[in-house]
Chain A
Amino acid sequence: MAASSEEQQGAAPYREITFAGVALGVIVGVVMTVSFTYAGLKLGFTVPASMVSAMLGWGVLRGLLKKGSIVENNINQTVAAAINVSSAGVIFTVPVLYLFQAERARGSATVAQAAQRAGLSIEQYVARHPELQAIDPKFLWAMAGASLAGALLGVLFIIPSRKQMIELERLVFPTGVATATILKASASGARRAKMLGWGILTSVLFATFVGLPGVVQGLPWPAIEEFSISERLHLPAWFAITLAVSGGLTSIGGGYITGRAGLVLMVGAVIGHWIVTPAVITQGWLPDRAWLDVVARAGTNIDAAQSVLTAHGEHCRAANTCAEFVSMGHQLAAGAHGHGASDAANAVLGGWAYRNVTRPLGVGMLLGGSIASVILTAPVLLAAVRSVRRARASQSGASQELDPRLMYVGIGTGFVILVFAAWMGASAVGTGTISVGSILLASAIATAWMWLANIIVSITTGKTDNSPLSGMALITILLILTALGRSEAGVMVAMVMAVAVCVATGQGSDMMQDLKTGHLVGALPRRQQLTQLLVAWIGPLVSLVTLFVLAKKFVFGNDPLTAPQAQAIKAAIELLAPAPDATLAQQALADATRLRYAVGAAVGLTLTLGAGGGLGVVLGLSMYLPMSVTLTYSIGCAITVWTEKKYGRDWVEERGIPLAAGWLVGEGLAQVVLVGVDLARVAAGGRA
């Protein structure tokens, strides 16, 4: 129990929002935002700051300052997470502008001549000249405005859902539970603290071992992302039975905390990865273009494939069909060119089917399931808003939630900032014009979608700890380009809205994780909401400035900052909104993808309206996620069921959950250390 003397503690008010707690949160949040903007551009993912910050909070607030309380440390982690969470929204979207600019440079005659003079290919020349990807500063201001609007709206839109998701549906929010476990660790008894410590230690060691080869070259062991059971069983590579190794303990820990309820995720994964994807390949539901990918990517070591590609590649791309490629692709997949080529070909086919069929169906299902969830819970959501208003009217100052008047003003302000950001971005394009009416329409669509997307991401985070952020960005782009058309200015406005939606959904789901933590430690929701609102703007700005500085030194899309998520979004823009000069094959693929969204949405809507419980959202998410994540996560859920049956619920709560929370925390800590090592190497002039 508490070390502080009762007389001292009792004389002063209970510490909750304090300068020390907020300042520590800001410092940790800013440092982690800078680190993970870099890491996210390199690896494609970020780590929540909440758990790391909660651990540091104990050291600083109670260890050094000798006066921290549990709820004060909760405010510290709320602040740090609110700042750091925006880095994901920024790095998934903003680099797309740089990628488009670099692509323009590759098509420029001046660059071609300069490359020739330097004796380099155009690709190599652009990769060595970061100034060629530079974008108009007005675009950056537009992005800053979009991310500010997103941060503000993301927090405000999710507040009325707190009662519904945390108090009534009692969603798990595994990261929120893990953070609460840390906050309560010092007073939870020796056994729980010991298990948490073991969890952190084993996870740090494991994640460092797995991640170090990606940072330090020349180590005697390789970097392993995942473990393929399919390969060991000699199954085709498109029949994915894989376990996550990098991030594996996080997935198992998240699954363990979720428990039995998370096992349903496996149903969607089986339908998506073990039925739909194999059916697409074995039944030949593929365009010729997919075979062209197979030959180009899996046949690189085969002379025959290379010669066909060299001789006919451009012709086939233009003609949209090429019997030679289809035939060659079939031969590769069937093993006519050796076992290695067959595996590679099947992996390419599996990847194609997942990206273009299974995943769009899953995204559609997420969308339909969420619309149904909103319909089903609308009465309770409205009652929540009414009860906030009633509480304000009857007992001013004692309400649990933020003042609704502040919410309305904030939402109005966020909308105005969003309109301004879209106008600034569109006007900076220079070519083609977009009317004010179109900008208002796009902003209204994006704001409405942002509200729904916020609910989708919060439900998926609450049920499984996974958030489909990039899927939400894709739907934003699709909605805006459908409304405005694919002009250069239209793409710019779509990007502004995508940034806003990504930042908003990140903020919303983080707010819910923090409110879950707060519920478990008895924090006052209004105080957490206010704190998050006051600091949410810091993260996007820090992340944007970091990105701007990095763009001066590195060309995004090239080693080391490959910006994988931004590349995926750029590819999706090209797929969903083909340019006017796109080939028939590209147009056909875009049409097919839209129809798959529609089919998924119809299924998700029916399932959730009929069966309830957000089932459509969860099954959609499991079709959207890679099999390695879902399978590893489900193993965690299954272990909970097994340990509960064998040792009882008390064992699970006393030992299992603290250990699982430690695994989540340790992985985050290890990533912070690895990024620190990498940044130090870059600063010292080493190759990143």
Chain B
Amino acid sequence: METEAKKSTAETLASWVQYLGMTIAMLGGATWPAPRWTVVAGGIGVLGAGIVWARLAAGKRTAAGVNAGGDRAIERVQSALDAAKQRTAAVRASAESAAFEAIANECEGIVRDCVEAVAAQQESLSRTYGFAGYAQVMTPFAAAERWLNRTWSAASDGHRPEVLASLDHAIEHIDEALRECAVLTKSAK
């Protein structure tokens, strides 16, 4: 799965400007007997400039489509959700007779490959659809992740009825995540 791309050089430099502003403000606050308020204000000003620069650089990166912009991010999320749906459904189809170890291994693989791929798109999705947009998809998918983890535990404990029930819950939540993803894509258009 493709993950979030690295920050641009401008964004990294902007971060260092933020740290510089913080240092200046802190030094202004460390003087005795009272803070030097002009230095504190100057530091906060530099910090603010760094933040603005970082936002502009991030916006430029997204607009240029160099890295994971919103559309590509939602495509990656959609693809991870589809993969999770297929793989979980396959595990469920054979779960009544499959070896517990195989069930546990596949659940672990789904969580590692698919859930983390969606979580990695947090920044891109948040930038395009807001944090609430990311939460809209991630909330049901994280619930599915927990049910997959429960499947792993139940399989490790050798409890087949719980394995089957947990897989059903996981599929239910992945479906919900897919629906939310579709709503998000539609709202963007």
Chain A residues proximal to chain B, CB less than 8 Å: 1-6, 9-10, 14, 69-71, 163, 166-170, 184, 186-187, 267, 271-272, 275-276, 279-280, 283-287, 357-358, 361, 376-377, 379-380, 383, 387, 400, 519-523, 588, 591-592, 595-596, 599-600, 602-603, 606-607, 610-611, 619, 623
Contacts and interface: CB of A to CB of B under 8 A. Distances in A.
A167 B48 contact: no
Given A3-B158, A70-B153, 20 more contacts: A2-B157, A4-B157, A10-B161, A70-B157, A167-B138, A167-B139, A276-B23, A285-B32, A358-B30, A521-B149, A522-B146, A522-B147, A522-B154, A595-B29, A595-B34, A599-B35, A600-B26, A603-B47, A607-B18, A610-B51
A380 B135 contact: yes
A276 B26 contact: yes
Contacts of B151: 522
Contacts of B139: 163, 167-168, 387
A603 B43 contact: yes
Contact of A14 (B25, B119, B152, B159): B159
A520 B55 CA distance: 34
A566 B151 CA distance: 46
Interface residues of B, number: 58
The 7 closest A-B pairs by CB, nearest first: A522-B150, A599-B29, A610-B51, A2-B158, A187-B156, A167-B142, A522-B149
B40 interface: yes
Contacts of A521: 149-150, 152-153
By DSSP majority rule, is chain A's interface helix, strand, loop, or mixed? Answer: helix
A167 B149 CA distance: 13
Contacts of A588: 33
A169 B122 CA distance: 8
A600 B35 CA distance: 11
A69 B154 CA distance: 8
Interface in B97-151: 99-101, 104, 119, 122, 131-132, 134-135, 138-139, 142-143, 145-151
B33 A519 contact: no
A183 B81 CA distance: 28
Given A14-B162, A279-B30, A520-B149, A380 B19 contact: no
B100 A1 contact: yes
A235 B27 CA distance: 21
Contact of A599 (B19, B40, B101, B155): B40
Chain B CB within 10 Å — which of A358, A595, A606 has the most? Answer: A606
25 contacts: A9-B160, A10-B158, A14-B154, A69-B159, A168-B131, A170-B119, A186-B156, A187-B157, A276-B23, A287-B33, A361-B29, A380-B135, A383-B135, A519-B149, A521-B153, A522-B166, A592-B32, A592-B33, A599-B28, A599-B29, A602-B25, A603-B44, A603-B47, A606-B51, A610-B18
Contacts of A522: 146-154, 166
Nearest to B115: A170
B22 interface: yes
A358 B25 CA distance: 12
B80 to A, nearest CB: 15
B187 interface: no
A561 B94 CA distance: 61
B28 A592 contact: no
B54 interface: yes
Contacts of A357: 30
Contacts of A611: 15, 18, 51, 54
Nearest to A285: B32
Chain A CB within 10 Å — which of B19, B26, B48, B135 has the most? Answer: B26
Contacts of B9: none
A62 to B, nearest CB: 9
Nearest to B108: A188
B150 A184 contact: no
Contact of A286 (B32, B44, B122, B135): B32
A600 B29 contact: yes
Given A71-B150, A520-B149, A2 B156 contact: yes
B101 to A, nearest CB: 5
Given A592-B34, A599-B29, A14 B161 contact: yes
Interface in B47-80: 47-48, 51-52, 54-55
Contacts of B26: 271-272, 275-276, 361, 599-600, 603, 623
A523 B150 contact: yes
Contact of A9 (B32, B34, B131, B157): B157
Given A361-B30, A603-B22, A603-B43, A400 B143 contact: yes
By DSSP majority rule, is chain B's interface helix, strand, loop, or mixed? Answer: helix
B106 to A, nearest CB: 13
Contacts of A280: 30, 32
A376 B44 CA distance: 19
Contacts of B28: 599
B44 A168 contact: no
Contacts of B157: 2, 4, 9, 14, 69-70, 187
A9 B153 CA distance: 13
B181 to A, nearest CB: 15
A1 B23 contact: no
A10 B159 CA distance: 5
A595 B148 contact: no
Contacts of A271: 19, 22-23, 26
Contacts of B158: 1-6, 9-10
A596 B32 CA distance: 10
Contacts of B35: 595-596, 599
Contacts of B15: 611
Contacts of B148: 522
Contacts of A380: 131-132, 135
Chain A CB within 10 Å — which of B23, B139, B146 has the most? Answer: B146
A596 B29 contact: yes
Nearest to A611: B51
A596 B30 contact: yes
Contact of B156 (A70, A285, A383, A623): A70
Contacts of A284: 32
Contacts of B29: 361, 595-596, 599-600, 603
A623 B131 CA distance: 29
Nearest to A180: B149
A610 B49 CA distance: 10
Nearest to A67: B157
A219 B19 CA distance: 47
A434 B86 CA distance: 66
A169 B119 CA distance: 8
Given A599-B28, A606-B48, A9 B143 contact: no
A134 B170 CA distance: 58
Contacts of A4: 157-158
Contacts of B135: 163, 168, 380, 383
A79 B152 CA distance: 23
A239 to B, nearest CB: 15
Contacts of A603: 22, 25-26, 29, 43-44, 47
Contacts of B99: 1
A70 B144 CA distance: 19
Contacts of B132: 379-380, 383
B104 A1 contact: yes
A607 B24 CA distance: 13
A531 to B, nearest CB: 17
Interface string B2-24: 00000000000001001100110
Contact of A168 (B48, B142, B150): B142
A279 B54 contact: no
B153 A69 contact: yes
B161 A606 contact: no
A612 to B, nearest CB: 9
B19 to A, nearest CB: 6
Nearest to A360: B29
A596 B15 CA distance: 24
